[in-house]
Chains A and B, each alone.
Chain A
Amino acid sequence: MKTLILGGVRSGKSRHAAELGRAAASVTLIATAQPLDVEMTARIEAHRAGRPAHWSVVEEPIRLADALARAAAPGRTVIVDCLTLWLSNLLGAGEEGGLAREQAALLECLPRLPGDTVLISNEVGLGIVPANALARRFADAAGTLHQKLAALCDRVVLMAAGLPLAVKCLPLLLCAMLGWNAAAHAAGLTLHDDLQREVTLTEHPRRLVTMLPSLTETVCGLGACDRLVATDRFSNWPEQARALPKAGGLDDAAIEMIVSVRPDLVLLSRSQRISDRLGELGVRSFVLETRTYADIARTVTIVGSILGLEAEAARLNTRIAQSVREIGDASRARKSPGPSVYFEVDRGPYAAGAASFIGELLLRLGARNIVTDDLGPFPRLNPEYVVRHDPDVILMAPEVPDLADRPGWNRIRAVREHRLCSFDSDTRDTIVRPGPRVPEGMRALADCLARKAP
């Protein structure tokens, strides 16, 4: 789908483009701005701060068609912000024929691009005809370019005061389903969940059920705890969520309980059986899987858009990223090289490998995980493996049993020198749940490593 977003200064164009990009698996932003002066630099910085962290950014002031062709891919949304600066860069470059060449290249490549493309441009032709020649030439160039692009795009949106006015929308039926009309408030949000289902929300849900502790904590972390009407039985934080009705677990959900609290939306992790059954009963559900550290920011961003709390989501992500960075830096500064560690998730023994989310936190703390990432995120180990790799510190998610009783383990340095970390159940929750409390969990890991590492 090709979308052209027009609008005046500060009319909400970039924000609307971000909304369109939210559903995509990946987003690439082509920035055409050049930080030539202080004001421009500040503007670029402000845009950068408002962008979700997982977008990749390409800077291309002139050769836009080439950049588009390189960036476009199926399933990806490429956002060009913005054509106005690109045009003025071309006009300013003073190269004869450059403008015509680049424009022709853009118009030629646009229809053939895979994935979604969103073009942002300023509508500059509404005021009095400009007094100087360059500005007149610019307004002419922009106006003709917009006309040609609008003919090629499936959707054209005119932004005014943050509200999108659909000027052109194809195909009609889809646009009607998306709630795209002149008065569309928040423009009917369409998102893809982790089961690749398209979920359309006409308004932000006010009654939520969360079926996973990390999702409950994410919703509450965004300050929307009061929208929760039920949670799964394992959600025990914050206090407010603890008192809510419990709708079973992810695998044995109490369907009747979920239906009886009349949710607008059920947030859950992957469980085909529940989402199918809820679908049959006309209850909307959204599947989010948070597995890696990067997934935390993604989940926060998506839940933020679902709830209409984009700003809070951006703030929360910044806060998490900042704390994680600080804790990591402090820990790495303290000990270098870091200790070798073994994190036992379960007495299987199942370990948290370097590929797991816990492994990632340990890595950021400067620890060297003896369970390398080629073994998978949570491999079941031969106990001999731990003896052979002789970790400096052992971290245990379950209660510490007498590790010296395990055959051969009394030879492990960590066991001999009592370099063991264990955590009470509240702390353990913060470590194993990929949600907004990750910095707390990481701090607990860091504290223990600081105390126990040789």
Chain B
Amino acid sequence: MKAARDWGRLAIWVSSCSAITAVLTGLSLIVGTSSVETSLGWIFSPDAQSAVILWDIRLPRAVGAWFAGALLGLSGAVAQGVFRNPLAEPYLLGTASGAALGVTISLLAADASIGGLAWAGKLGVTGAACLGAAGAIVLTIMLARGVLETASLLLSGIVIAFLLTAVTSLLLLTKPEIWRAMQTFLLGSTGFLSWSAVLLLGGVFLVCIIPSTLLARGLDALTLGEETAQSLGLSLPVLRLTLLGVTALGTAAAVGQIGVVGFVGLVAPHLVRESLSVNHRQLLIAAPLCGGVLLQAADVVSRWVVRPAELPVGAVTACVGGTYLVILLWRRNRVGS
């Protein structure tokens, strides 16, 4: 009975998220460097140039932002489940520092044709960021000697993050000019999303969402504690390795395309839990939808506030997400006291 009601609530959540997504996508099409009236005019009678702006710049941007947000929301929800910690987030395992290192190497390689680094130049900034992020997670797991120990995983994540940041700083010393380009990339921007980026993000999203929802029951069991979960017949190594793989892939893909956009992965699962009482399978369906909406909204806001210029989308999510977390903590404390 309760289960049926929960799924019913989830259905309402899913449909409202979809509705908001539709509205935001519509807004994405009319918010930009041109005035709203001009944009509306374009939609009804496009010429060659406005068609490019609408369908090759604004639309892939809106759809890509949704997929990237969904990936971050999913990765965040999975990470919080695996680590049994509500403060876990996609960047916990050194992803952000790995991406920064990747970007730095690629910029260095593009700058001076350093023989051995030519591949990094060809890979482009996005590819290098993605590889760097994924590489950082692999290093973290290797340093923690597997995925079983939560504490050592978290610690290795921190160690790897510091290590990679140090390497990045050293590299930047040799060529300080690229610092600004790297910072701008890391701050996050949806401005460069193209249809090929959307295809990539969409593909990765499919690859990530299927195994996570299939393994969601394992996450439910894990909430009872690792020993209990094992006594329920769960193979912890397989479960954690697969789910961490999903987090790694999802985060690396998102970071590669839009940079290190913070707070979406952290806040999306909390927003879901605030309004629904969910098991993990429901959470893993709802959190990506929420993440998608969050990033799309942030993207629209970033284009709206200072138009025709725009804010870095990472700054917007940090402001909104940070504020929300503070409110959440404040409310919890009040309930607690």
Query: CB within 8 Å of B: which residues of A?
Result: 233, 245-246, 248-257, 259-260, 262, 270-274, 276-277, 280-282, 346, 348, 350, 376, 378, 380
A260 touching B194, Cβ below 8 Å: no
**B129-184 interface (Cβ within 8 A of A):** 173-174, 176-177, 180-181, 183-184
B184 touching A245, Cβ below 8 Å: no
* Chain B proximity of A348: nearest CB distance (Å): 7
B33 touching A257, Cβ below 8 Å: yes
Give Cα A190–Cα B194 distance, bound, in whole angstroms.
28
Give Cα A376–Cα B172 distance, bound, in whole angstroms.
13
Query: Closest residue to B303 on the A side, CB-wise?
Result: A256
* Chain A proximity of B300: nearest CB distance (Å): 13
Given contacts A254-B309, A276-B124, A378-B177, 12 further A-B contacts (CB under 8 A): A233-B309, A248-B309, A251-B185, A254-B191, A256-B191, A259-B49, A260-B32, A260-B34, A270-B110, A273-B125, A280-B56, A281-B52
B191 touching A259, Cβ below 8 Å: no
A281 touching B57, Cβ below 8 Å: yes
7 pairs of A and B residues whose beta carbons are closest in the complex: A251-B184, A257-B33, A251-B181, A252-B184, A256-B57, A256-B32, A256-B33
* Chain A proximity of B122: nearest CB distance (Å): 10
15 pairs, CB–CB < 8 Å, chain A vs chain B = A233-B309, A245-B308, A250-B181, A252-B184, A254-B191, A254-B308, A255-B192, A256-B32, A256-B53, A260-B49, A270-B111, A273-B192, A280-B56, A280-B194, A281-B52
A271 touching B33, Cβ below 8 Å: no
Known: A245-B308, A273-B125. A259 touches B53 (CB 8 A): yes
Known: A245-B308, A260-B33. A271 touches B181 (CB 8 A): yes
B173 touching A380, Cβ below 8 Å: yes
Query: Closest residue to A282 on the B side, CB-wise?
Result: B52
Contacts of B124 in A (CB 8 A): 272-273, 276
Give Cα A256–Cα B110 distance, bound, in whole angstroms.
25
Q: How many contacts between A and B, using CB within 8 angstroms? A: 76
Contacts of B110 in A (CB 8 A): 270, 272
A350 touching B309, Cβ below 8 Å: no
Query: Closest residue to A276 on the B side, CB-wise?
Result: B124
Give Cα A246–Cα B306 distance, bound, in whole angstroms.
12
A378 touching B191, Cβ below 8 Å: no
Contacts of B125 in A (CB 8 A): 272-273
User: What is the number of residues of chain B that contact chain A, defined by CB distance less than 8 Å?
Assistant: 33
* Chain A proximity of B289: nearest CB distance (Å): 27
Query: Closest residue to B194 on the A side, CB-wise?
Result: A280
* Chain B proximity of A452: nearest CB distance (Å): 27
Query: Closest residue to B106 on the A side, CB-wise?
Result: A272
Give Cα A273–Cα B124 distance, bound, in whole angstroms.
7
B184 touching A249, Cβ below 8 Å: yes
Contacts of A378 in B (CB 8 A): 176-177
A252 touching B312, Cβ below 8 Å: yes
Contacts of B57 in A (CB 8 A): 255-256, 259, 281
* Chain A proximity of B141: nearest CB distance (Å): 30
Instruction: Decide yes or no whether B310 CB sits under 8 A from chain A.
Output: yes
* Chain B proximity of A415: nearest CB distance (Å): 24
**B184-223 interface (Cβ within 8 A of A):** 184-185, 189, 191-192, 194, 196
B33 touching A254, Cβ below 8 Å: yes
Give Cα A282–Cα B51 distance, bound, in whole angstroms.
12
Contacts of A274 in B (CB 8 A): 192
Contacts of B192 in A (CB 8 A): 255, 273-274, 277
Instruction: Decide yes or no whether B270 CB sits under 8 A from chain A.
Output: no
**B74-133 interface (Cβ within 8 A of A):** 110-111, 121, 124-126
Contacts of A348 in B (CB 8 A): 176
Contacts of B240 in A (CB 8 A): none
Give Cα A252–Cα B56 distance, bound, in whole angstroms.
18
Give the residue among A250, A257, A281 with the most B Cβ atoms within 10 A.
A257
Instruction: Decide yes or no whether B58 CB sits under 8 A from chain A.
Output: yes
B177 touching A259, Cβ below 8 Å: no
A259 touching B52, Cβ below 8 Å: yes
B34 touching A252, Cβ below 8 Å: no
A281 touching B56, Cβ below 8 Å: yes
Contacts of A282 in B (CB 8 A): 52
* Chain B proximity of A233: nearest CB distance (Å): 7
* Chain B proximity of A207: nearest CB distance (Å): 12
Query: Closest residue to A271 on the B side, CB-wise?
Result: B181
* Chain B proximity of A373: nearest CB distance (Å): 15
Q: Interface readout for B235-274 with A: 1 if CB under 8 Å, 0 if not?
A: 0000000000000000000000000000000000000000
* Chain B proximity of A397: nearest CB distance (Å): 13
* Chain B proximity of A208: nearest CB distance (Å): 16
B194 touching A256, Cβ below 8 Å: no
Give Cα A282–Cα B48 distance, bound, in whole angstroms.
11
Query: Closest residue to B110 on the A side, CB-wise?
Result: A272
B173 touching A257, Cβ below 8 Å: no
A252 touching B308, Cβ below 8 Å: no
* Chain A proximity of B50: nearest CB distance (Å): 8
Contacts of B194 in A (CB 8 A): 277, 280
* Chain A proximity of B140: nearest CB distance (Å): 28
Contacts of A281 in B (CB 8 A): 52, 56-57
B191 touching A255, Cβ below 8 Å: yes
Give Cα A189–Cα B52 distance, bound, in whole angstroms.
27
Known: A259-B53, A273-B125, A277-B194. A252 touches B189 (CB 8 A): yes
